[in-house]
Amino acid sequence: MKDAYQVLNTYNANQYNIALPINMLSFYGTDDISIKGDIRDWREYTTQEITFFHFKSGHFYSDSQKENVLQIIEQHIW
């Protein structure tokens, strides 16, 4: 957990300034206190479509929402 926070506090995605030519899915917990800024800023990292999915949870939303997350991914991959 300590390493995750170190990455979170030091990583700067803007240093690469690259928008990928792919569709993206963005998952997040609405109670995640580690999210800095606006989650919609992820639109800057793709030239294609990005779809946002939120869960009433914190950073580890996937623990309680595993089936929902997998179902969404499956729907978008196939």
pLDDT of 13 over the 80 cut: no
pLDDT of residue 47: 94
- Return d(Cα 48, Cα 52) in angstroms, integer: 13
Q: For residue 27, what are the CA distances in angstroms to 15, 37, 46, 73, 76?
A: 23, 15, 15, 10, 13
pLDDT of residue 7: 60
pLDDT range class, residue 4, cuts 50, 70, 90: low
pLDDT of residue 1: 59
Question: Structure pTM?
Answer: 0.67
Q: Which residues contact 72 (CB under 8 A, 6 or more apart)?
A: 25, 27, 53
